[in-house]
């Protein structure tokens, strides 16, 4: 889900930033999310024996990047395939008894709510008025 949400933020950044700014933004976002994930997972589950949660997250983020690149994102949000891919990824982690309903839950409820939060956050980030220099 975190990788999906970073992809959504990246698509919004694509609409607002040039290529270099977008790359820097998305890289910084992915690294920061990975750091927070690593801290939280380490606190809850203990340190990894091989590698870190952060390294594993960044590796998965990079691995899935080419898959997510195939999907469309417009002002209306992600296309059906974008959402379906997330649903399938989540379904693969669920217990067998929960698999029949999880894709619908992700596509119709969980993802739209999370996307709305990211869209609002990105709108607030990009639409913040710049401070005017104080008149002397």
Could you report the per-residue pLDDT of 81-131, keeping only the tens digit for each? 999 999 999 999 999 999 999 999 999 999 999 999 999 999 999 886 655
User: What pLDDT shows up at residue 114?
Assistant: 97
User: What pLDDT shows up at residue 23?
Assistant: 96
pLDDT beyond 70 at 132: no
User: What pLDDT shows up at residue 47?
Assistant: 79
User: What pLDDT shows up at residue 8?
Assistant: 97
User: Residue 51 — left, alpha, or beta (φ > 0 → left; ψ -120 to 50 → alpha)?
Assistant: left
3-state secondary structure 32-97: HHHHHHHHHHHHHHCCCCCCCHHHHHHHHHHHHHHHHCCCCEECCEECHHHHHHHHHHHHCCCCHH
Could you report the per-residue pLDDT of 26-83, keeping only the tens digit for each? 999 999 999 999 999 888 887 776 778 999 999 999 999 999 999 999 989 999 999 9
Q: Domain limits of the chain? A: 2-126
Q: Supply the pTM of this predicted model.
A: 0.87
User: What pLDDT shows up at residue 91?
Assistant: 95
């Amino acid at each position: 889900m975190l990788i999906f949400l970073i992809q959504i933020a990246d698509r919004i950044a694509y609409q607002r930033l040039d290529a270099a700014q977008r790359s820097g933004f998305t890289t910084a976002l992915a690294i920061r999310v990975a750091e927070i994930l690593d801290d939280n997972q380490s606190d809850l589950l203990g340190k990894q024996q091989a590698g870190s949660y952060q390294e594993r997250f960044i590796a998965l983020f990079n691995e899935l990047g080419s898959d997510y690149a195939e999907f469309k994102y417009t002002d209306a949000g992600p296309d059906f395939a974008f959402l379906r891919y997330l649903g399938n990824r989540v379904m693969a982690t669920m217990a067998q008894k929960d698999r029949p309903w999880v894709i619908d839950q992700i596509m119709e409820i969980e993802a739209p709510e999370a996307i709305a939060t990211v869209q609002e956050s990105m709108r607030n980030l990009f639409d913040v008025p710049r401070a005017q220099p104080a008149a002397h």
